[in-house]
Structure 1
Amino acid sequence: MSDALVEARDGILIITINRPDAKNAMNKEASELIAAALDRLDAEDDLRVGIVTGAGGTFCSGMDLKGFLRGETPFVAGRGFGGITQKSPAKPLIAAVDGYALAGGLEVAIACDMIVANENAKFGIPEVKRGLAAAAGGLMRLPKKIAPHIAMELALTGDFMDAKRAYELGLVNRVTSGPALDAAIELAQAIAGNGPLAVKKSKQVIAESGEWSEAEMWQKQTETLGNLFATNDAREGAAAFAEKRKPNWTGT
């Protein structure tokens, strides 16, 4: 059985870490399969949104320590840990978290653009408890997602937080009593119904604008959006609104 499963469903690419017996601990094979799936997400025009989830009621418990002891590293060149932490796809990506998202598992989740979690989910970067550090993005990315002093506490104590607390801190978008994947698909469908070029460019501005100075931000936004307002989809969106119908997006 493959260590990661990939399914295209109505414009949504669902990527499932498939090592439930190991609590979906990330290994080299799963990382490579995830990286390939993200390449596919960006390459295929009919795919609009990606979802990363885990099989068997757990998202990801982090790096496969048994593999680590054998000398295996679950990193992909140019993509990072899990095939995702260093390079995000151009299209939106949602983490659907059931159970534990710990260590590298949390780093995979926060590398996504949005997180949907079951109410019983747990989040944490407990690497310090093993003499390690959350070096796959956790130490750098988490303080940008939540208050830095809260991120500091999580990094230095290794303590977990539940989905309710993660939602209160703004780390999680939605908390559900059912399977996280179902709620993530609902969110993905809402995104997939919008103009694909507009969605892609909007993600890019939000992702990159944190590094722009106030003096350059308007020029940078104009450059990033390019000719978006002159595209066929822009005209189609306006026409569909005026005619009270569903838009027929072409991605042009």
Structure 2
Amino acid sequence: MSTEGHTVRTERIGGTLLITIDRPKARNAVNAAVAAGLAEALDTLEADPGLRAGVLTGADGTFSAGMDLKAALNGESPEIPGRGFGGLTEASLTKPLIAAVEGWAMGGGFELALGCDLIVAAEDARFGLPEVKRGLIAAGGGVIRLPKRIPHHLAMELLLTGEPVTGRRAGELGLANRVVPAGDAAGVALQLAEGLAANAPLALAAVKKIVRAADGVPDADAFAAQREEMGPLMASADVREGMTAFAERRAPKWTGR
């Protein structure tokens, strides 16, 4: 599928939707067309029961340079109401999404990666939030999410200096699940997605929802939210299938019901 202006491409690979930001001449910067294209691609991922996970990457060795400043100066918005920057950073997705980062993930590009569930980074990738150098802040989730992902003082260093770190350093900080040779990020991300797709879709969705609900709340409230999810989950056909498949020593056949 190609979207408006051919700025976002999608390819179905087994149970995974590979989503590629395709504006290489603009270093895959996010303008209104990219935001609309990403939102459409994510809607496709969510709506298709045959798709179990997504991989987000950028064309020609660059993840994304972030917000297209020229487009923004011309009045274009890189945000989708209710879904945030690039149609992703404030979206509530039920299916796992993996960022495959090659080259630059700067500003909003870094924030798109932070909006994913897992990150695979090329060792020579560059992650940075340079907004303070332009009189801005990383308002697409960077200021909010980064201090939750890495130690406080390290997050503050990245946010206050605006200086980038390599993919290798991102791995050392715990930002990246896998650090791989340049050119391998998408392939490794697709392998990870294939592994996720083998698991029960209702359970994956429940994990994501509970993790979000537990963020920053007392344990009692987190467990209450978890109980709300566990009732329907335990009554699902997939739970029975998982137990039956284990007893019969075979691979489960998930239906998402």
Q: TM bucket by the smaller chain?
A: over 0.9
Aligned to 1:131: 135
Determine whether 1:77 maps to 2:81.
yes
Determine whether 1:18 maps to 2:27.
no
Q: Deviations over 1:129-169 (max 9, x none)?
A: 12221111111111111112111111111111111211111
**If the length of structure 2 is used for normalisation, what is the TM-score?**
0.94
Unpaired runs of 5+ residues, structure 1, are none
Unpaired runs of 5+ residues, structure 2, are none
Aligned to 2:247: 242
Give how far 1:224 is off: 2.1
Aligned to 1:144: 148
SS class of match (1:7): strand
Aligned to 2:230: 225
Aligned to 1:215: 220
- AA in 1 matched with 2:79: F
Aligned to 1:187: 192
Matches within 5 A, 1:1-252: 2-177=6-181, 178-252=183-257
Regions of 4+ moved over 3 Å: none
- State the number of aligned residues: 252
SS class of match (1:211): coil
SS class of match (2:6): coil
Q: Deviations over 1:34-60 (max 9, x none)?
A: 011112211111111011100000000
Contact between 2:214 and 2:221, CA under 8 Å: does it hold in 1? Answer: no
1 CA distance for matches of 2:41 and 2:256? 21
Contact between 2:131 and 2:162, CA under 8 Å: does it hold in 1? Answer: yes
SS class of match (1:216): helix
2 CA distance for matches of 1:107 and 1:185? 21
Contact between 2:39 and 2:87, CA under 8 Å: does it hold in 1? Answer: yes
Give how far 1:248 is off: 0.8
Give how far 1:227 is off: 2.1
- AA in 2 matched with 1:189: E
**If the length of structure 1 is used for normalisation, what is the TM-score?**
0.96
1 CA distance for matches of 2:178 and 2:123? 9
1 CA distance for matches of 2:230 and 2:172? 32
Q: Deviations over 1:109-137 (max 9, x none)?
A: 00111101111111010111122211111
Contact between 1:124 and 1:161, CA under 8 Å: does it hold in 2? Answer: yes
1 CA distance for matches of 2:73 and 2:111? 21
* Identity, % of aligned positions: 51
Give how far 1:214 is off: 2.1
Contact between 1:41 and 1:89, CA under 8 Å: does it hold in 2? Answer: no
1 CA distance for matches of 2:22 and 2:240? 42
1 CA distance for matches of 2:35 and 2:15? 23
Contact between 1:93 and 1:112, CA under 8 Å: does it hold in 2? Answer: yes
Contact between 2:213 and 2:222, CA under 8 Å: does it hold in 1? Answer: no
Contact between 1:110 and 1:141, CA under 8 Å: does it hold in 2? Answer: yes
1 CA distance for matches of 2:75 and 2:230? 44
